A and B are shown apart, each in its own frame.
Chain A
Amino acid sequence: MTAPRPSLTIAACIAAALACAPLAAQQVDRTHPPTLPPPPALRVPAVQTATLPNGLELAVVEMHKVPVVDVTLQIGAGTVRDPDDLPGLATFTATMLQQGAGARGALDIADETAFLGASLNTGAGFDAATASLHVPKRRLGPALDLLADVVLRPTFPDTEIARQRDLRRAQILQARDQPVAMANLAFAAIVFGGHPYGRPQTGTETSTAALNRDRVLQFYGAYYRPNTARMLVVGDITLAEAVRLVRARFGAWGRAEVAAAAEAAAPAGAARTIYLVDKPGAAQSVFRIGQVGVNRATPDYFALEVLNTILGGSFTSRLNQNLRETHGYTYGAGSQFAMRRMAGPFLASASIVTAKTDSALIEFMRELRRIRDEAVPQAELDKAKAYITLGLPSDFETTQGAARRFAELILYGLPLDYFSHYIPQIDAVTAADVQRVARQYIDPDHLAIVVVGDRSKIEAGLQALHEGTIVYRDMWGQPVQ
């Protein structure tokens, strides 16, 4: 597009801004958007690494703008390690780390964390448990003391186990009030079955009742080891300083043999089926439509990023434009490929006004087929690629933002200079690539269509679409009568 603006006037205005403002205002040409200068180059902070003698790997990213430090400790104790008979053990163990450690009780840990102005979190995802800390630099030392106590010296008192078990029981009960939580639980179980990614991460009523100190101790002892762990430190700190502080606290953490997490095969997708979870009185129907997708190590990562941005990963994506901006059925629709160590799900999702449940499914299916059947127009492809590449710098603005991007590299064993090559890889994606990965990873004939909504109002409409047999499930994804 040619520049419509009177550049001479602009140059003059820069020299004497006030004086020629009215002139500039009169001459502004609104018929075309302005032509923009070239985008600034991406500046990604460097990652430095070190390994402690006990095998603990350390990555440090220096960011000195604001005197804060963000610490992320990943431990190979994610929910993929949950025993078959005790789903929820990994997340429960991670929660229990903070309920007593070293000489501190649960309330002491909370009190001291807040007193330091720190936030300390422990939890477990599928592929790793995480203990993280965000703290003003000047309180880093005592905050790391707390982190070390929590990770290395948890006491798991019986009274605290009972307390957290009871709390978790109530939370599982409350999930029945939350249609989005119900849909997520049901979708995972339906798509992944007995695979580790199909189990409820925070357990079931039955497994929660069976949690006890022995099981927690056993799990902790088996997996909380420096050789399964990696630490990321981002913020107002140097590598040498980080090594000194971390070695003093984590250097004596004892190694142990830990078998690699087993690979599990995800079940083959069943023929397209509508799984209806009844939620009487629901104002909306919560949709989760998807299947087993792909793992993070896939060479198709960049093509999939572009594909998903076009399909459901941005405001102007097809799903959001169609379901929200064209039809007004929803407040927002989207899609994602959840890429993990093993293949995670692909899913499209939205909360749809009850009366338009069937109409929305028609549009979902239309978009899921169209992205496979037709090559993406060039302008749409270019927009998606620019959105990804030009938006990347802002991910590295804050310590926590940068930590999030680098933690992903560390968790999935990707090279630490990954972002230096990121933009060219996105730029190289073609419309043919997008269509190829759409055909490879989105299979409309084998989609699980999970709908949590008011059965009495939506069943007939869904039935009439003939998009799949309707079966009835509970929030655990299990058949109901």
Chain B
Amino acid sequence: MSRWHRGADVRTHERRRHGGTGARGHGNDQRRRALVVAALLWVGVVAAPSRVSAQALHVPYQTFTLANGLKVIVHEDHSVPIVTVNTWYHVGSSDERPGRTGFAHLFEHLMFMGSEHVPTGDFDKLLEAAGGDNNGSTTEDRTNYFEDGPSSALELMLYLDSDRMGFLLPEITPPKVDLQRGVVQNERRQSYENQPYGLAQENILQRLYPADHTYHWPVIGSMVDLNAASIEDVQQFSRTWYTPSNATMVVAGDVTLRQVRPMVERYFAGLGRGPAVTRTPPPAVNLAADVYATLEDRVQLPRVYDTWHTVKSFAPDDAGLEMLGNILADGKASRLYKRLVYELQIATQVAAFQDGGRIDGKFEIFATARPGHDLNEIARVIDAEVRSLAEAGPTPREVERVRNSIEADFLGRMERVGSFGGKADQLNYYDYYVGTPDYFQRDLDRYRAVTAADVQRLARDYLLRAHRVVLSVVPAGHTELAATEGAAR
């Protein structure tokens, strides 16, 4: 979840909304390939006007690390006179302790509440007065922050970011914690409780992952735990995780290393190094049997979610599972859409995707029933389509179609340096997940290497032959509409 959404919940109809840019508001979307909106630079684009299709993806960068452990990555893109400072703290909701779920995200909100030399409110006011924007978001694995603006605002961005990295705690008081607790609780109401099906994910997670697994709870956390968060928690969390040695900063845009490096050193070099970070490996996830559950919600139409445990991001089967998801449900030509929505007309929508995090991953399919249709009817079709893929595999054209769409996504991500999913964010993403900021081409190569036989094997091993969590969300009082175990699936 992100700190805020431009325009709150206002929706306008007069302008076409282009997909793929801006805050998504769901932090865990960020690492999904289809939604990771990181821009790439195509080699030769700047230097030569010649076409690029055969050339490799490459985002040039330079890096240096301060004595306190802060790693800095600089990417120059002089096409537009703007700059972005994108900072990742390597801490997320999976680093929370039981009884304090939602805390990493609450802390993200506190990072905008002022620091020792920046009075409350000035962070935003100074940036806006310099033409800048900012936001932050939290996932299971990391917390990110960016400031975007004209290249002239770079030093202000570094001043603000360094002050909250080094001098946050003197300014955090119980009333500030209370205030942002209220904001975050309203975020939970707006984005989850007051949304149809909004509580489905947390119900799935608690059944898919054992209680001692750090993906057991959602990033937004529970109301009870949010209420319990104290000023002492803030202090301890800050000292443990919000340190230069647990952060990486990307500066990208119309700037040079020569200009950036002394400025970064000036503001950050004096900050103290943090303690070494240690994490306990998560327990094994093992669904020994299918788990069926039903959630009653204020919805008109029932929806069924099938969720399987899979692999973490960048594991060998991660890219193939994502392509499997696209073959199943990306667009009208996909198998499940065609069958459920188009031909049989028993569902209004369907989605399928691999969702790999740094620690673990899952594969999810959900479909919403049309009026008069129950979830068993839909579940049987989902199973038949999965079985068909597991037994016969996709056609060559299906694999190529999905691959072409993914390649086009990579191209689209080359256009923007800032915001969530811009080039700077993506450099940080690759750096944290695979240890190589410029991993763009190798990432794309993962998808290029996937064959029809791979997709067939993945459908068989991860879906057909594996246990799953089946969650039915039904209108209150209509549990008879739920998918039932043993309904000849």
Interface residues of A (CB under 8 A from B): 10, 13-14, 17, 21-22, 24-26, 28, 30-31, 33-34, 36-41, 43, 64-68, 72, 106-107, 110-111, 113-119, 121, 123, 125-127, 130, 132, 134-138, 163, 166-167, 169-171, 173-174, 176-180, 184, 201, 281-284, 286, 313-316, 320-321, 324-334, 336, 338, 340, 344, 347, 349-353, 382-384, 386-387, 389-391, 393-394, 396-401, 403-404, 407-408
| Distance of A404 from chain B, by nearest CB (Å) | 7
Interface string of B117-131 (1 = CB under 8 A from A): 110011011101111
The answer to whether A390 and B159 have CB atoms under 8 Å apart is: no
| Distance of B151 from chain A, by nearest CB (Å) | 6
Given contacts A163-B342, A315-B4, A316-B124, contact A173 B301 (CB under 8 A): yes
Residues of B with C-beta under 8 A to A401? 18, 21
| Distance of A78 from chain B, by nearest CB (Å) | 9
Residues of B with C-beta under 8 A to A36? 130, 152-153, 155-156
A sample of 30 inter-chain contacts (CB < 8 A) reads: A34-B159, A36-B130, A39-B130, A65-B79, A66-B411, A67-B52, A68-B411, A107-B342, A110-B331, A114-B333, A117-B404, A136-B411, A167-B348, A170-B348, A170-B370, A174-B348, A174-B368, A176-B300, A201-B13, A316-B121, A331-B4, A332-B4, A334-B6, A334-B7, A387-B131, A390-B131, A394-B148, A397-B415, A397-B416, A408-B15
Interface string of B196-238 (1 = CB under 8 A from A): 1000000000000000000000000000000000000000000
Q: Which one of A17, A66, A130 lies within 8 Å of B262 (CB-CB)? A: A17
Residues of B with C-beta under 8 A to A331? 4-5, 8, 183, 186-187, 189-191
The answer to whether B117 and A39 have CB atoms under 8 Å apart is: no
Residues of A with C-beta under 8 A to B181? 328
The answer to whether A25 and B266 have CB atoms under 8 Å apart is: yes
Residues of A with C-beta under 8 A to B133? 315, 391
| Most A Cβ at <10 Å: residue of B21, B193, B266, B405 | B266
A314 CA to B133 CA, complexed, in Å: 9
The answer to whether B18 and A400 have CB atoms under 8 Å apart is: yes
The answer to whether A316 and B128 have CB atoms under 8 Å apart is: yes
| Distance of B378 from chain A, by nearest CB (Å) | 13
| Distance of B244 from chain A, by nearest CB (Å) | 12
The answer to whether B14 and A328 have CB atoms under 8 Å apart is: no
Residues of A with C-beta under 8 A to B14? 125-127, 338, 340, 344
Residues of A with C-beta under 8 A to B66? 21
Residues of B with C-beta under 8 A to A39? 130-131, 150, 152-153
Q: Which one of A34, A111, A313, A328 lies within 8 Å of B186 (CB-CB)? A: A328
| Distance of B417 from chain A, by nearest CB (Å) | 7
Residues of B with C-beta under 8 A to A117? 404-405, 407-408, 411
Interface residues of B in 149-205 (CB under 8 A from A): 149-153, 155-156, 159-160, 163, 167, 178-183, 185-187, 189-191, 193-196
**B418 contacts the other chain (CB 8 A):** yes
The answer to whether B80 and A125 have CB atoms under 8 Å apart is: no
A28 CA to B368 CA, complexed, in Å: 58
| Most A Cβ at <10 Å: residue of B20, B130, B131 | B131
Q: How large is the interface on B (under 10, 10 to 19, 20 to 34, 35 or more residues)?
A: 35 or more
Q: Which partner residue on chain B sits nearest A384 by CB separation? A: B128
A387 CA to B132 CA, complexed, in Å: 7
Q: Which one of B126, B341, B368 lies within 8 Å of A33 (CB-CB)? A: B126
Q: Which partner residue on chain A sits nearest B79 by CB separation? A: A65
| Distance of B485 from chain A, by nearest CB (Å) | 27
| Distance of A149 from chain B, by nearest CB (Å) | 16
**B400 contacts the other chain (CB 8 A):** yes
A174 CA to B303 CA, complexed, in Å: 12
Residues of B with C-beta under 8 A to A21? 66, 262, 265-266, 269
Q: Which partner residue on chain B sits nearest A131 by CB separation? A: B16
Q: Which partner residue on chain B sits nearest A106 by CB separation? A: B332
The answer to whether B163 and A30 have CB atoms under 8 Å apart is: yes
Q: Which partner residue on chain A sits nearest B185 by CB separation? A: A353
Given contacts A65-B45, A394-B82, contact A114 B401 (CB under 8 A): yes
Residues of B with C-beta under 8 A to A66? 42, 45, 411-412, 414-415
**B298 contacts the other chain (CB 8 A):** yes
The answer to whether B131 and A118 have CB atoms under 8 Å apart is: no
Given contacts A179-B194, A283-B189, contact A332 B9 (CB under 8 A): yes
| Distance of B345 from chain A, by nearest CB (Å) | 6
**B280 contacts the other chain (CB 8 A):** no
Q: Which partner residue on chain B sits nearest A111 by CB separation? A: B333
A116 CA to B405 CA, complexed, in Å: 7
Q: Which one of B156, B267, B301 lies within 8 Å of A28 (CB-CB)? A: B267
Given contacts A39-B152, A119-B19, contact A398 B167 (CB under 8 A): no
**B278 contacts the other chain (CB 8 A):** no
Residues of B with C-beta under 8 A to A391? 131-133, 149-150
Q: Which one of A72, A313, A349, A400 lies within 8 Å of B9 (CB-CB)? A: A349
Interface residues of B in 37-83 (CB under 8 A from A): 42, 45-46, 49, 51-53, 66, 79-82
Given contacts A28-B266, A125-B16, contact A163 B348 (CB under 8 A): no
Given contacts A40-B150, A43-B80, A111-B401, contact A28 B183 (CB under 8 A): no
Residues of A with C-beta under 8 A to B193? 283-284
A25 CA to B196 CA, complexed, in Å: 51
| Distance of B135 from chain A, by nearest CB (Å) | 9
Given contacts A110-B331, A110-B333, A398-B416, contact A329 B186 (CB under 8 A): yes
The answer to whether B11 and A184 have CB atoms under 8 Å apart is: yes
A357 CA to B485 CA, complexed, in Å: 43
Q: Which partner residue on chain A sits nearest B269 by CB separation? A: A25
Q: Which one of B7, B167, B269 lies within 8 Å of A24 (CB-CB)? A: B269
The answer to whether B407 and A387 have CB atoms under 8 Å apart is: no
Q: Which partner residue on chain B sits nearest A42 by CB separation? A: B81
Interface residues of B in 250-278 (CB under 8 A from A): 254, 258-259, 261-262, 265-270
Residues of A with C-beta under 8 A to B282? none
- In the complex, besides A21-B66, A177-B299, A391-B132, 12 extra interface pairs with C-beta distance below 8 angstroms are A39-B152, A117-B408, A136-B53, A137-B51, A180-B9, A184-B11, A284-B190, A331-B183, A331-B189, A331-B190, A349-B9, A351-B189
The answer to whether B412 and A134 have CB atoms under 8 Å apart is: yes
A113 CA to B122 CA, complexed, in Å: 47
Given contacts A338-B14, A393-B150, contact A332 B129 (CB under 8 A): no
| Distance of A400 from chain B, by nearest CB (Å) | 4
| Distance of B114 from chain A, by nearest CB (Å) | 11
The answer to whether A333 and B333 have CB atoms under 8 Å apart is: no
The answer to whether A13 and B265 have CB atoms under 8 Å apart is: yes
The answer to whether B8 and A17 have CB atoms under 8 Å apart is: no
Residues of A with C-beta under 8 A to B81? 40-41, 43, 393
**Nearest 3 A-B pairs (CB), nearest first?**
A390-B131, A328-B182, A117-B408
| Most A Cβ at <10 Å: residue of B21, B182, B261 | B182
The answer to whether B397 and A400 have CB atoms under 8 Å apart is: no
**B371 contacts the other chain (CB 8 A):** yes
The answer to whether B298 and A10 have CB atoms under 8 Å apart is: no
Q: Which one of A40, A115, A315, A344 lies within 8 Å of B124 (CB-CB)? A: A315
A64 CA to B301 CA, complexed, in Å: 47
